[in-house]
């Protein structure tokens, strides 16, 4: 809607985790370094946790894109899997043709044989599981057993768990202590700091093709940075709404008021209080209607 208005090639604040928008901020850089180092060392389990919307999935996709060709990767975004479904998903991701209804024992045997073949070809298998806090207990145990598969020199499968902080709490449970002891590398992905929020906004606008005077002034950026709790997903939602509001009023820049209105309308922001809420749809509809009216008069 506002692409041509602001001279953008694409939406800069989409919620889709696009690696072309990845910004190598300190926390994300450190997390990626931990993952790459642990995988190259051949560790069985690696864990990365972080709050909702902090950028775990984008980090995951960046990892999959950056791993050398010596790694075979399997990515499972949906963790609600039984042990059999998890093994089948791993086999499918590795290019094996196995029917869904295959006997569990046969599947486990064929999977092990395929992993050995990959190992003989000097390929390392990495299984990456997103939203790992939702994995059933029996599936977590099955993952631990899969990492028992090894040669005399290395594991046949390495597992990367990405999840919300609830994953840490689950792993403290006594019945999961064997799995917890297998996790040799961990990293907690933190929210963005004040200056990082500002860098993040400028970076995404630049990647989306924006050229010109800053769309957001210092006061608007200051309010944004103080109201989003450092969470990239909330930054994206607020900035998208603010751009819509500015577009609806026919303005070429986003004001502090636009940021405030967007923050008040966004769940999870520091300014989203019941007594402060505005009806964002009403404001936006009125602004767009006004812009259309003046455009019609000028024809």
pLDDT computed for residue 164 by the predictor: 96
User: What domains does the chain contain, in order, with CATH numbers?
Assistant: 3-10+193-297 (1.10.8), 26-189 (3.40.50.300)
96-122 per-position pLDDT tens digit:
988 888 898 999 999 999 999 999 999
pLDDT computed for residue 272 by the predictor: 66
Task: Confirm if 151 and 11 have CB atoms less than 8 A apart.
Answer: no
pLDDT computed for residue 140 by the predictor: 94
**Which residues does the chain have with pLDDT short of 50?**
274-280, 282-283, 286-299
pLDDT computed for residue 150 by the predictor: 85
Partners of residue 49 on adjacent β-strands: 163, 188
Reading across the β-sheet that carries 183-189, which strands appear in turn?
71-76, 124-129, 157-163, 45-50, 183-189
pLDDT computed for residue 298 by the predictor: 39
pLDDT computed for residue 231 by the predictor: 97
What would the two tokens of residue 243 be? 């751009």
- Global confidence as pTM: 0.86
Query: How do beta strands 71-76 and 124-129 pair?
Result: parallel
pLDDT computed for residue 293 by the predictor: 36
Buried b (16+ CB within 10 A) or exposed e, 128-166: bbbbbbbbeeebbbbbbebbebeeeeebbbbbbbbbbee
């Amino acid at each position: 809607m506002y692409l041509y208005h602001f001279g953008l090639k694409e939406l800069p604040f989409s919620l889709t985790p696009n690696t072309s928008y990845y910004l190598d901020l300190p926390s994300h850089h450190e997390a990626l370094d931990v993952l790459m180092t642990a995988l190259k060392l051949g560790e069985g389990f690696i864990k990365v946790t972080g709050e909702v919307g902090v950028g775990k999935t984008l980090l995951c996709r960046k990892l999959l894109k950056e791993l050398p060709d010596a790694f075979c990767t399997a990515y499972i975004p949906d963790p609600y899997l039984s042990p059999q479904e998890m093994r089948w998903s791993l086999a499918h991701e590795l290019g094996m043709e196995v029917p869904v209804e295959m006997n569990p024992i046969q599947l486990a045997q064929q999977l092990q044989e395929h992993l050995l073949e990959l190992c003989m070809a000097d390929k390392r298998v990495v299984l990456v599981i997103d939203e790992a806090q939702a994995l059933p207990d029996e599936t977590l145990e099955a993952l631990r057993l899969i990492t028992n598969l090894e040669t005399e020199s290395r594991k046949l499968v390495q597992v990367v768990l990405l999840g919300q902080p609830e994953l840490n709490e689950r792993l403290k449970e006594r019945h999961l202590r064997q799995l917890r002891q297998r996790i040799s590398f961990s990293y907690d992905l933190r929210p963005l700091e004040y200056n990082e929020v500002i860098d993040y906004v400028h970076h995404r606008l630049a990647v989306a093709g924006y050229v010109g005077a800053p769309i957001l002034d210092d006061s608007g950026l200051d309010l944004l940075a103080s109201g989003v709790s450092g969470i990239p997903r909330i930054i994206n939602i607020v900035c998208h709404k603010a751009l819509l509001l500015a577009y609806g009023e026919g303005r070429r820049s986003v004001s502090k008021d636009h940021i405030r209105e967007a923050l008040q309308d966004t769940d999870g922001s520091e300014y989203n209080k019941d007594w402060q809420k505005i009806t964002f749809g009403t404001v936006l509809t009125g602004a767009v209607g006004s812009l259309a009216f003046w455009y019609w008069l000028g024809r």
